[in-house]
């Protein structure tokens, strides 16, 4: 039988997590942050083991995420933001830059960088995904961060 590896939620009390969150659409991103922090705390991560870096908008997330990942202090970096479509293609440029930038930060450093950025057509869609009836992207990203951190530890040993 093949060896199988998967992340679990054990032994996180020594781990530190970085969070990058954008102020743009703050009413949404603050809910994403609450979801992420609650999920980490519920998993046993001490509150003072989570560092939160605020950036102006989603476009600024990748640089801060790369800086945190490069510091080697964190087992994962969670990126949170909310991009909502406007009248122009501005949102598409932001979405592409953030998704590529977050991926690059992860692959350059070997540290999981989670994509908890909502990319919505309307504010209503964002509300539904920030603790409303379609879940909370911050919660989901924090759960993925816990799982990836655990998996990478197993793959290292
Ligand atoms: N930033 C967001 O996080 N969400 C948005 O919906 C958004 N829109 O629509 O413009 C947004 N713009 C700001 C952008 O992220 C940068 O902060 C800005 O362009 C300066 O670099």
- Pairing outcome for strands 76-84 and 50-55: unpaired
pLDDT of 122: 97
| 51 Cβ below 6 A of ligand 1 | no
For residue range 81-107, list pLDDT tens digits in order. Answer: 999 999 999 999 999 999 999 999 999
Query: Which is the closest atom of ligand 1 to the Cα of 86?
Result: 9
For residue range 94-142, list pLDDT tens digits in order. Answer: 999 999 999 999 999 999 999 999 999 999 999 999 999 999 999 999 9
Tell me how far CA of residue 80 lies from CA of 3, 13, 65, 156, in angstroms.
34, 23, 10, 27
Cβ 90 vs Cβ 42: under 8 Å: no
The residue with greater pLDDT, 3 or 86, is 86
Residues in the chain: 157
Q: Is 11 helix (H, G, I), strand (E, B) or coil?
A: coil
Is the pLDDT at 10 greater than 70? The verdict is: no
Neighbouring CB atoms inside 10 A of 134's CB total 12
Q: Please report, rounded to a whole number, the percentage of residues in the chain having pLDDT higher than 90.
A: 90
* Closest Cα to atom 1 of ligand 1: 57
Is the pLDDT at 25 greater than 80? The verdict is: yes
pTM of the full structure: 0.96
Tell me how far CA of residue 98 lies from CA of 42, 79, 116, in angstroms.
28, 9, 10
Cβ 146 vs Cβ 12: under 8 Å: yes
Tell me how far CA of residue 53 lies from CA of 3, 18, 75, in angstroms.
38, 8, 16
Neighbouring CB atoms inside 10 A of 117's CB total 24
DSSP states of 38-91:
HHHHHTT--GGGEEEEEESSGGGHHHHHHHHHHTT--SEEEEEEEEE--SSSHH
pLDDT of 117: 98
Ligand 1 pocket test, candidate residues 94, 96, 115, 123, most atoms within 8 A of CB: 94
The band of 41, judged by pLDDT with boundaries at 50, 70 and 90, is very high
């Amino acid at each position: 039988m093949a060896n199988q590896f998967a992340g679990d939620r054990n032994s996180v009390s020594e781990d530190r997590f970085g969070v990058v969150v954008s102020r743009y659409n703050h009413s949404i991103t603050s809910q994403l942050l609450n979801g992420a922090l609650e999920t980490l705390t519920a998993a046993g991560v001490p509150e003072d083991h989570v560092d939160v870096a605020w950036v102006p908008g989603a476009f600024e997330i990748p640089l801060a995420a790369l800086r945190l990942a490069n510091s080697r202090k964190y087992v994962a970096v969670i990126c949170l933001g909310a991009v909502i479509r406007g009248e122009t293609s501005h949102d598409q440029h932001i979405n592409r830059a953030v998704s590529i930038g977050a991926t690059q930060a992860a692959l350059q450093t070997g540290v999981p960088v989670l994509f908890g950025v909502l990319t919505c057509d309307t504010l209503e869609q964002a509300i539904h995904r920030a603790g409303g009836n379609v879940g909370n992207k911050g919660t989901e990203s924090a759960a993925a961060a816990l799982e990836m951190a655990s998996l990478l530890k197993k793959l290292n040993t």
